[in-house]
């Protein structure tokens, strides 16, 4: 059966809502809605009233496209406020044959977290490192093996309660529930993950509008993250200042005309632009590319230093994502700064072919994998609506529909807030 999952990314620049159909770990995008973000600074909601306007708009647009009511989502939260703690737990296997089941794995992970979450923090996920059978055999996957006692070492990730509940409260006010949450960097990693990455040390660098998140993954496990207070907006400001143009003009020139590297920039190609003082000027591609290149180099130098500060591990791969990486020839500057050929990663899902959607798509894949691990028929859309949505995608290509009023979507799974009870934890399903 195909599954339909909705993901929400509340960023400093835009709010993105993606509805995807998942089949064999591929995401087929049914609808994408993106609006200007209001009331959000550096990924944190600072003006709830303004943010509420953006949320209503992004949901309304997506619901018009699909002619349904979206009332459940998976949510990304900023990684740079994350806190990581090594935890351990154990349980006795009570079945007669002593065979470890998926339910036993859930219970041992619950034991790792029990009574270990501070009052001012929110549990986000738990990432198993290794399991131990009867204090002897170590394994990554204990399912189906025999043991009387099952132990686990894991990394528990937490986030400040105030950051999480600000989004929860706003979504609740418009009738939207959260079925799961995770950090943006985990979602980014999930979008590009493969067996090679899961066996190596990887840095994920998401260059957003106001900030750049740098995260370190050790064999698929997020171990540390930090924030650099520089992003795409800094490039836009430089262009605005030098040419005396609006930020909207600067952003358009950066994305559609300029290059991130001077190497392939033309000295003869120019664009006619009207300045803030109503003066007509020509902007040369080589000159504006030179400005952008200088700023991106500065950002990548800071990124390189931050990676070295976060870990002494040898980093095998660096994943660059986020909207700023879409500037043409960005990879040429990466090669120049890091001194070696880097692996190329790019979002290729039809309907979302841009790295700015990596968190949204990766979160859908993450949630799908978790459902598969827990053997839950727990999608964000009822079974009887799934074929209808799939047909909408095929026949209308995401064009807004105007038949009868939207139909409410009912979620089958337990809500995200059940994790607080320590009865139904949100699990990171890396090994299952």
> Contact at 8 Å (CB) between 182 and 7?
no
Integer Cα distance of 300 and 408 in angstroms: 45
> For residue 102, what pLDDT is reported?
82
Residues 109-148, buried b or exposed e (16+ Cβ, 10 A)? bbbbbeeebeeebbbbbbbbbebbbeeeeeeeebeebebe
Instruction: Give the count of beta carbons closer than 10 Å to the beta carbon of residue 28.
Output: 16
pLDDT greater at residue 379 or residue 318: 318
pLDDT greater at residue 390 or residue 309: 309
> For residue 374, what pLDDT is reported?
56
Specify the number of domains making up the chain.
1
> For residue 252, what pLDDT is reported?
94
> For residue 2, what pLDDT is reported?
59
Whether residue 13 is contained in a domain is answered as no
Tokens of 148: 């009387």
| pLDDT reading at 62 higher than 50 | yes
| pLDDT reading at 213 higher than 90 | yes
Whether residue 138 is contained in a domain is answered as yes
| pLDDT reading at 16 higher than 90 | yes
Q: How far is Cα of residue 60 from the mean position of the Cα atoms in its chain?
A: 22
Whether residue 146 is contained in a domain is answered as yes
Whether residue 109 is contained in a domain is answered as yes
Give me the count of residues in the chain: 432
Please list the alpha-helical segments (H only) found in 67-194.
Answer: 102-113, 161-173, 184-192
Nearest to 369 by CA among 198, 196, 145, 119: 198
Whether residue 371 is contained in a domain is answered as no
| pLDDT reading at 80 higher than 50 | yes
Whether residue 97 is contained in a domain is answered as yes
Please list the alpha-helical segments (H only) found in 205-325.
Answer: 232-243, 247-256, 285-310
> For residue 285, what pLDDT is reported?
96
3-state SS class at 193: coil
> For residue 141, what pLDDT is reported?
84
Tally DSSP H helices, then E strands, for the chain.
11, 19
> For residue 179, what pLDDT is reported?
87
Least confident range from 5-9, 257-261, 404-408: namely 404-408
Whether residue 148 is contained in a domain is answered as yes
Least confident range from 17-26, 85-94, 187-196: namely 17-26
> Contact at 8 Å (CB) between 336 and 297?
yes
Q: What percent of the chain has pLDDT over 70?
A: 84
Domain that holds residue 98: 82-162
Q: How far is Cα of residue 424 from the mean position of the Cα atoms in its chain?
A: 23
| pLDDT reading at 222 higher than 60 | yes
> Contact at 8 Å (CB) between 41 and 33?
no
Whether residue 100 is contained in a domain is answered as yes
Q: How far is Cα of residue 190 from the mean position of the Cα atoms in its chain?
A: 8
| pLDDT reading at 277 higher than 80 | yes
- Residue 115 sits in a domain whose CATH number is 3.30.1490.110
Integer Cα distance of 246 and 240 in angstroms: 6
């Amino acid at each position: 059966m195909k599954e339909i999952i909705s993901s929400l990314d509340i960023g400093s620049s835009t709010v993105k809502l993606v509805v995807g159909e998942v089949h064999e770990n591929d995401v087929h995008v049914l609808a994408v809605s993106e609006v200007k973000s209001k009331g959000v600074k550096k990924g944190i909601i600072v003006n709830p009233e303004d943010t509420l306007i953006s949320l209503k708009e992004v949901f309304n647009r997506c619901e018009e496209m699909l002619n349904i009511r979206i009332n459940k989502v998976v949510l990304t939260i900023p990684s740079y406020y994350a806190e990581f703690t090594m935890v351990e737990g154990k349980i006795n296997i009570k079945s007669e044959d002593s065979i470890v089941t998926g339910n036993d794995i859930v219970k041992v992970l619950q034991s790792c977290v029990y009574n270990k979450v501070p009052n001012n923090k929110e549990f986000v996920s738990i990432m198993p490192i290794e399991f131990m059978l009867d204090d002897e055999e170590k394994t990554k996957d204990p399912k189906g093996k025999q043991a009387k006692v099952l132990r686990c070492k894991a990394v528990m990730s937490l986030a400040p309660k105030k950051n999480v509940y600000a989004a929860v409260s706003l979504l609740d006010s418009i009738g939207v529930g959260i079925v799961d949450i995770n950090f943006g960097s985990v979602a980014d990693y999930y979008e590009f993950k493969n067996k090679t990455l899961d066996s190596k040390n990887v840095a994920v660098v998401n260059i957003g509008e106001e900030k750049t998140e740098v995260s370190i993954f050790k064999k698929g496990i997020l171990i540390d993250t930090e924030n650099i207070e520089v992003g795409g907006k800094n490039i836009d400001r430089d262009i605005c200042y030098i040419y005396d143009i609006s930020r909207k003009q600067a952003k358009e020139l950066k994305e559609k005309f300029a290059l991130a590297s001077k190497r392939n920039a033309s000295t003869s190609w120019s664009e006619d632009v009207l300045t803030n003082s109503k003066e007509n000027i020509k902007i040369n591609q080589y000159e504006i590319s030179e400005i952008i290149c200088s700023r991106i180099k500065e950002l990548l130098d800071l990124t390189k230093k931050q990676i070295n500060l976060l870990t002494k591990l040898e980093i095998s791969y660096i994943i660059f994502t986020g909207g700023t990486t879409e500037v043409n020839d960005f990879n040429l500057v990466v090669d120049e700064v890091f001194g070696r050929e880097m692996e190329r990663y790019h979002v290729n899902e039809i309907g979302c072919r841009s790295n700015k959607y990596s968190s949204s798509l990766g979160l859908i894949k993450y949630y799908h994998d978790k459902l598969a691990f827990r053997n839950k028929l727990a999608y964000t859309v009822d079974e009887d609506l799934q074929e209808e949505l799939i047909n909408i995608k095929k026949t209308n290509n995401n064009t807004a529909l105007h038949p009868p009023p939207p139909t409410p979507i009912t979620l089958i799974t337990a809500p995200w807030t059940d994790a607080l009870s320590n009865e139904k934890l949100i699990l990171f399903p890396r090994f299952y």
